[in-house]
Structure 1
């Protein structure tokens, strides 16, 4: 089967369906969500220590329980209470960027982890070099690179590679799996044990965290439920933590790259901010409706370089027929976010960063929002999407208010040119690149000094 919106292929013994259209994805994954809610078997998940991540769990009672835990904490109405913290963390990030601009990627990781760590574990991240942030960076960086479709296919076809002695050629995949597993175990257990210890110390605030609240509920409902509920809670917590780190920090890397390559966009965004906020105020969520171009910048950041370009693969639980095409049971279904974001009929000059494409003739936002497809669809849609959207908006708006992001210059004052490079693996984001990050003006420098004093 070969069609523009729906492609069928066979890779070795696996039947694969690739969806290249948001319309088709909605028709299948949303309207027939029960059929498309499963995950395919990935031979890398267990060996590389990623079985903790509910995103890869098969559609089952186990998955539904973990999903329900995450949903209760991160659903739209619950996520509203995180906003003051997200604004505060964004402002802390600005101070770090001013004080240490060369390590901007680390500051993004700290910011993206901080809200989730507080909400999930009641853990307050220190401004820089937090041990848990460094732990998740190490675990995720190696895991993301290893968890690729091609490596999964290799292990599925040649499982004996995991049993080769270390001295044997081809054993590197076994060594990588061992390292990834050890780091993943630490990332899962250390913060969870921290939350349990705080509960034992009768910390009132820890009981308001996701882990604390559910541990208390387990204690009230009886210890007989602990063997079922605690593993589901640990899986839900570590999944939320890992997902927030990878997707939010990657999106901010894309944003900074866009500001370096498209300085006119930054100038227009800052002009809107000056008009609405003036030069001596920092943004809050109450200002969001008055800053449509900032939202357009966020939308274009999601669309321009989607951080999960092929989504996470789904699998069919039964056979299906769509538009005359037969889709077999057990087929792997790839939701091609990249193809949707690069549709020239929908996005003219799609490779160019143009927030204006989301602004209508009246200066208002259009109905086209990439958040409707980049966070997934159906029963597997990202449960943390509301908090993620708010985190990215608070970070982008605060950076645009306080910072100038531009091309780096060498000692002779000449612009350093570079060709953007991107990571490979399950997710995709720019490799660190040369750029200049500084306070916009004396007034904004004084605002940053005020924030620094408050930290």
Structure 2
């Protein structure tokens, strides 16, 4: 017996009930109505929604040998990216080869060595905020420059660089190709056997593929010609990398770079939204920062053990409004039984980040931004939702770098700035709606405004001094990272 769910119609199942706008909100209602596991039938595809962290961990973490596959996406996964997008790859030996390739540069120890680059990019971020309130652009430049420096040895000091513009075009194309309900071939995969002359989606996919392939290959050649160490050079020297074609290896690095472009930037926009909607946490954070860090220097990653409230803000930012509220779907490699329910082979498993993060039995007042909740132990011992970066063998590989960036950015922004509402022409604050989100795979706040004011002239001077004195030569920074990795015993090939 499948888990309970909404009534189905013949042939189409629940397709008529599949929402197109904010689908995770509708699915959360199903969870509340039918229970923590809900089944639905979308055409020939059985979908199991999980709205409870304990169940998600029991299946996706502890039974990873069954729950680590991905649903088939004909347009995005097969036609557009030719099966080379790591996020969509089936869980097989080729996927594991890519995991082994990426693991050394994304491990917790390796991720910690990237601090000099995060230090540089965050110093520019603070300096940029002295002259602009365009936080979306400032966050995006930070995230892009960080990941492009690591992947290719390319700094992006302006955010207007051509490769960044092309990267956003590639991401827009992928989002378009992955839209549910857009492509008939995703509902009827047999149509993919048609020749391109009779399959317009194939022509679209081929056009997108050529654009993406050219970007990844161009970036790869730039990386190999650079003076300093970078991920591309490291991968080409690895035993896993030599088993891949040039295009496959270029895609591997390119997908890592693409993954870092938006995620950290969007998460920081969520933090900024919280600072306007629930500003009471800001003076508490600044009091901790002033006590631990003082007024003469910027916070660093080494301060993290002594800044528990800042760490709590990071966790609450990740929980409060999930940037991937519908989770990244898994698929089953074999049939399974759990809690008396049958879960078919090939079923799509959706862990509803939105439902887990806003579970009222796990979190008091879950819609509110309350960092204090992470400084307390739940009285009932309930398994809290903490898997912000996914589950099991499909965990976000860049999570350690992302966490370090979020901590450093939040600590430094709150150290140096007050964040307040923008005002209209009458001087009235422009209010924000903290529930107003977009409906894409990566959900972002709808555009809003904020003002970043330095806390004092002294804070401004410290920010200016740190930026002016920073080492801005990316080759020197990247080689210092390589030297650090060697000094702590990490294996460096390039």
TM-score category of the 2 structures, normalised to the smaller one:
0.7 to 0.9
Q: CA deviation at 1:186?
A: 4.0
Distance 1:134 1:447, change over 3 A: farther
TM-score of the superposed pair, with normalisation by structure 2: 0.80
Task: Report how far residue 405 of structure 1 moved.
Answer: 1.3
1:25-70, Cα deviation, whole Å (9 max, x unpaired): 1111111101111111012313444844201011122211111111
Q: Contact 2:278–2:368 at 8 Å: present in 1 too?
A: no
Q: How does 1:115-126 map to 2 (within 5 A)?
A: 115-126=146-157
8 Å contact from structure 2 (residues 53, 383) kept in 1:
no
User: Which moves more between the two structures, 426-435 or 184-193?
Assistant: 184-193
Deviations 1:135-166 (A, max 9, x none): 32332244335523333677424886999999
Q: Shift in Å at residue 314 of structure 1?
A: 0.8
Q: Deviations over 1:272-311 (max 9, x none)?
A: 1112222232001111111111111111110011111122
Q: Are the counterparts in 1 of residues 320 and 357 from structure 2 also a CA contact under 8 Å?
A: yes
Identify the residue that residue 44 of structure 1 maps to in structure 2.
75
1:132 corresponds in structure 2 to 163
Q: Which residue of 2 aligns with 1:110?
A: 141
The structure 2 residue matched to 1:86, chosen from 102, 118, 129, is 118
Give SS of 2:286's match. helix
Deviation at 1:410, TM superposition (A): 2.0
Q: Distance in 2 between matches of 1:162 and 1:398?
A: 54
Determine whether 1:194 maps to 2:222. Answer: yes
Gaps of 5+ in 1: none
Alpha-carbon contact 1:266-1:400 (below 8 Å) kept: yes
How big is the shift at 1:230? 4.0
Q: What SS does structure 2 have at the residue aligned with 1:192? A: helix
Q: Kindly tell me: are residues 161 and 322 of structure 1, through their superposed partners in 2, closer, same or farther at Cα, counting changes over 3 Å?
A: closer
Distance 2:423 2:348 in 1: 47
2:304 is aligned, of 284, 288, 292, to 288
Aligned to 2:328, what secondary structure does the other structure show? coil
SS in 2 for 1:56: coil
Contact 2:84 2:248 in 1 (8 A): no
SS of 1:311's equivalent? coil
| 1:29 correspondence with 2:49 | no
Q: Is the 8 A contact 1:69 1:236 kept in 2?
A: no
Contact kept, 8 Å, 1:92 with 1:127, in 2: the verdict is: no
Q: For the structure 1 residues 161 and 60, does the alpha-carbon distance in structure 2 shift closer, same or farther, using more than 3 Å as the test?
A: closer
Q: Is the 8 A contact 1:44 1:151 kept in 2?
A: no
SS in 1 for 2:114: helix
Q: Distance in 1 between matches of 2:193 and 2:140?
A: 32
What are the equivalent positions in structure 2 for 1:149-188 lying under 5 Å apart?
A: 149-151=180-182, 155-157=186-188, 177=205, 180-188=208-216
1:175–1:266 CA distance, 2 compared to 1 (3 A):
farther
33, 47, 55: which is aligned to 1:16?
A: 47
Q: Does 1:72 align with 2:87?
A: no
Sort the Cα spacing of 1:19 and 1:176 in 2 relative to 1 into closer, same or farther, 3 A. Answer: same
In structure 2, what is the Cα distance between the partners aligned to 1:395 and 1:369? Answer: 25
Secondary structure at the counterpart of residue 87 of structure 2: helix
Match of 2:409 in 1: 395
Q: How many residues align?
A: 434
Matched position secondary structure for 1:263:
coil
Q: How does 1:22-421 map to 2 (within 5 A)?
A: 22-45=53-76, 46-49=78-81, 51-102=83-134, 104-144=135-175, 146-151=177-182, 155-157=186-188, 177=205, 180-198=208-226, 203=227, 205-206=228-229, 209-217=230-238, 226=242, 228=244, 230-360=246-376, 372-420=386-434, 421=436
TM-score, normalised to structure 1, is 0.87
- Once residues 276 and 262 of structure 2 are traced to their aligned partners in structure 1, the CA distance between those partners, rounded to angstroms, is 22
Cα root mean square deviation, aligned: 2.9
Between the aligned partners of 1:312 and 1:50, the Cα distance in structure 2 is 20
| Contact kept? 1:408, 1:434, Cα under 8 Å | yes
Q: Any gaps of 5 or more consecutive residues in structure 2?
A: 5-33, 471-494
SS in 2 for 1:373: coil
* Corresponding residue number in structure 2 for 1:443: 458
Q: 1:98 to 1:52 in 2, by over 3 A?
A: farther
Using the alignment, how far apart are the partners of 1:155 and 1:367 within structure 2?
Answer: 39
Partners of 2:405 and 2:164 in 1: CA distance: 17
